């Protein structure tokens, strides 16, 4: 597995990472502060199956955030806490606001701004990291002609390009959910096709750890 002994893994993103975490600005430590989502699942599996590596996991996800919000808090929530490995999942709200708030254009983060901002953050940060994980945004919708699904895939394509550019581990979450959607309806994974239940979070967890070389 790619995470070396003693590594500090920090996960930053939106509500999918946040998942009700309990401490601000950084969630880690006792009494399950990492939330009810994939970050907790990742920490639990690493602790149970790789205890000798003593991997430290911290969660700095914030519900509702876009890449603009990440830029505002990057120094405090990433650089100041000096991760060895950084995992980034952002882009869902950047796209979603274009559909659920179509008239509030000031909330929209266009594709060019998304790429430019994320590129800037990664360029500043990558040299100081042992490893970087980039996760694509996703929409749990099997109809590939759905407008929001198509827009989300365009943002996911940017993440894939950035992963190559910055020597990052890529986690294609849209592909991970697509495999499950061959046999399950979206409603069984997420009521709004965005915020997953525990099964949906485990889909993310499995894709994330598999990309890191986890032995199942």
Task: State phi, psi for 65 to the nearest 5 degrees.
Answer: -80, 150
> Catalytic residues, which ones?
15, 192, 195
Sheet of strand 85-89, all strands in order from the earlier edge strand to the far edge: 56-59, 8-13, 85-89, 131-135, 169-171
**pLDDT value at residue 193:** 97
Per-residue tokens: 24? 């601000």
**pLDDT value at residue 165:** 97
H helices within 25-183, ranges in order?
Answer: 38-49, 67-77, 92-100, 111-125, 147-165, 173-181
**pLDDT value at residue 133:** 98
Residue 109: how many other CB atoms lie within 10 Å:
20
**pLDDT digits 0-9 by tens, 148-193:** 999 999 999 999 999 999 999 999 999 999 999 999 999 999 999 9
Handedness of CA 61, 67, 72, 78 (dihedral sign): positive
**pLDDT digits 0-9 by tens, 115-135:** 999 999 999 999 999 999 999
Q: How far is 192 from 46, CA to CA, in rounded Å?
A: 29
Domain membership flag for residue 32: yes
Per-residue tokens: 122? 């990664």
- 25 has pLDDT over 90: no
**pLDDT value at residue 1:** 93
Domain membership flag for residue 72: yes
Residue pair 162/118 in contact by the 8 Å Cβ criterion: yes
**pLDDT value at residue 24:** 81
Nearest by Cα to 42 from 69, 14, 73, 16: 16
**pLDDT value at residue 151:** 98
Percent of residues, the chain, with pLDDT higher than 90: 96
**pLDDT digits 0-9 by tens, 77-91:** 999 999 999 999 999
Written in H, E and C, the secondary structure of 15-68 is HHHHCCCCCCCCECCCCCCCCCCHHHHHHHHHHHHCHHHCCEEEECCCCCCCHH
Task: State phi, psi for 132 to the nearest 5 degrees.
Answer: -130, 135
**pLDDT value at residue 103:** 95
Domain membership flag for residue 3: no
State the chain's mean pLDDT as an integer. Answer: 97
**pLDDT value at residue 68:** 98
| Residues spanned by the domain of 117 | 8-211
Looking at the 3D structure of the chain, how many domains does it have? Answer: 1
Domain membership flag for residue 148: yes
Domain membership flag for residue 93: yes
**pLDDT value at residue 15:** 97
- 23 has pLDDT over 90: no
**Which position has the higher pLDDT, 72 or 32?**
72
Mean pLDDT of 69-77: 97
Question: Which H or E element spans position 211?
Answer: helix 198-211
Domain membership flag for residue 53: yes
Domain membership flag for residue 2: no
**pLDDT value at residue 141:** 97
Domain membership flag for residue 1: no
Which CATH number does the domain housing residue 70 bear? 3.40.50.1110
Residue partners of 55: CB distance under 8 A and separation at least 6: 3, 5, 6, 7, 8, 9, 43, 46, 47
């Amino acid at each position: 597995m790619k995470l070396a002994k003693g590594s500090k893994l920090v996960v930053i993103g939106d509500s999918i990472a946040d998942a009700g975490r309990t401490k601000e600005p950084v969630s880690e430590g006792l009494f399950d502060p990492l939330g009810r989502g994939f970050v907790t699942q990742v920490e639990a599996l690493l602790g149970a199956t790789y205890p000798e590596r003593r991997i430290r996991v911290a969660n700095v996800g914030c519900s509702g955030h876009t890449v603009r919000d990440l830029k505002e808090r990057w120094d405090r929530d990433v650089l100041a806490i000096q991760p060895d490995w950084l995992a980034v999942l952002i882009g869902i709200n950047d796209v979603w606001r274009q559909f659920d708030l179509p008239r509030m254009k000031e909330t929209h983060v266009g594709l060019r701004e998304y790429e430019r901002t994320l590129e800037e953050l990664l360029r500043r940060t990558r040299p100081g990291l042992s490893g970087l994980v980039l996760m694509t945004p996703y929409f749990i919708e099997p109809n590939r002609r759905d407008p929001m699904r198509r827009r989300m895939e365009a943002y996911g394509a940017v993440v894939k390009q950035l992963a190559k550019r910055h020597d990052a581990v890529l986690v294609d979450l849209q592909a991970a959910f697509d495999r499950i959607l061959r046999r399950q309806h979206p409603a069984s994974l997420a009521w709004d096709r965005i915020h997953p239940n525990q099964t949906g979070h485990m889909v993310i967890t499995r894709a994330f750890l598999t990309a890191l070389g986890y032995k199942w």
